[in-house]
Structure 1
Amino acid sequence: MAGINILIENKNDCHDGKDKRVCMLCLKERTKYTCPRCNTQYCSVECYRSEKHMTCSENFYKECFMEGLKESDIEPSDKQKMVDMLKRTECDPDLIDLDQSDDDLEGRLAGVDLDGEADKIWSRLTDKEKKEFQSMSLDGRLGILVEVWTPWWDMGQASLVADIGTQPHHTHPEICTNIQNIEQLLKTKPSKDIKYNIIHLLYCYTFVSKLHNGDHIPLAIESSGDMLTLSDVLSHGYSCGSVEEAVQVCLRKLYTGNGGFETTPESNLALLQDVQTIIQHGSMGSITGPLAALSEIHTMLNVAYKHLQKTLKLAKEDDEDMKTKKKTLFGSVKKLEFLLSWCQTYGHSLSLLIPELQLVHKLLISECEAMKKSRQSIESIWAGPVGIKKKTLIEEI
Structure 2
Amino acid sequence: MVVCRFCPAEHARYACPKCSADYCSLKCYQSRDHLNCSEKFYQNEVQSELAFQAQNEIDPQDKKRLLEAFKRLNQPDLDGHDDDDDSASADEQDIADRLAGIDLDDSEAIWAHLSDQERLEFEKLVQTGDIQKLIPDFQPWWSLTVKSKLVQELDDPDELEQFQGRCPPLPEKIPPLRQLTQMAPASCVKYNLVNVIFAYVYGVRYFMDDHLANPLAFTEAVLNLSGNLAQNEAFESADKALAAASLQVTHHEHLAMSQDFTLLCKKDVFQIIQGPCPNYSWYYLLSALGDLKQALKLGAKALKTSTIKTDKLGQTLRTAQPVYVRLVKKAILKIDFYLSFVKDHNQDLHLLRTVMK
> So what's the TM-score if we normalise by structure 2?
0.60
Q: Is the 8 A contact 2:195 2:227 kept in 1?
A: no
Which residue in the other structure is 1:135 paired with? 121
Which residue in the other structure is 1:152 paired with? 141
Aligned CA distance change for structure 1 residues 278 and 320 (closer, same or farther; 3 Å): closer
User: Distance in 1 between the 2:338 and 2:218 partners?
Assistant: 20
Aligned CA distance change for structure 1 residues 354 and 219 (closer, same or farther; 3 Å): same
What's the secondary structure of 2:146's corresponding residue? coil
> So what's the TM-score if we normalise by structure 1?
0.54
Which residue in the other structure is 1:186 paired with? 181
Which residue in the other structure is 2:199 paired with? 204
Q: Is the 8 A contact 1:157 1:282 kept in 2?
A: yes
User: 1:342 and 2:341 equivalent?
Assistant: yes
Which residue in the other structure is 1:274 paired with? 268
Which residue in the other structure is 1:297 paired with? 292
Ranges in structure 1 where 5+ consecutive residues have no aligned partner: 1-99, 313-318, 359-397
Which residue in the other structure is 1:55 paired with? none
CA positional deviation for 1:142 = 6.0
The aligned runs of 1:38-77 (5 Å cut-off) are: none
The aligned runs of 1:1-397 (5 Å cut-off) are: 104-107=98-101, 109=102, 112=103, 114-115=104-105, 117-122=106-111, 125-126=112-113, 128-129=114-115, 131-136=117-122, 138=124, 143-157=132-146, 160=149, 170=164, 171-255=166-250, 257-258=251-252, 260-285=254-279, 286-311=281-306, 321-358=320-357
Q: Is the 8 A contact 2:144 2:163 kept in 1?
A: no
User: Distance in 2 between the 1:272 and 1:307 partners?
Assistant: 29
Identity %: 21
What's the secondary structure of 2:296's corresponding residue? helix
User: Distance in 2 between the 1:352 and 1:231 partners?
Assistant: 22
**Greater mean deviation of Cα atoms: 140-149 or 245-254:** 140-149
User: Distance in 1 between the 2:170 and 2:284 partners?
Assistant: 9
Between 1 and 2, higher relative CO (CA 8 Å, sep ≥ 6) is seen in: 2
CA positional deviation for 1:149 = 1.5
Aligned CA distance change for structure 1 residues 148 and 306 (closer, same or farther; 3 Å): same
CA positional deviation for 1:230 = 0.7
CA positional deviation for 1:288 = 0.2
The structure with the larger Rg is: 1
CA positional deviation for 1:206 = 1.7
What's the secondary structure of 1:217's corresponding residue? helix
What's the secondary structure of 2:211's corresponding residue? coil
CA positional deviation for 1:278 = 1.1
Q: Is the 8 A contact 1:158 1:282 kept in 2?
A: no
Ranges in structure 2 where 5+ consecutive residues have no aligned partner: 1-93, 308-317
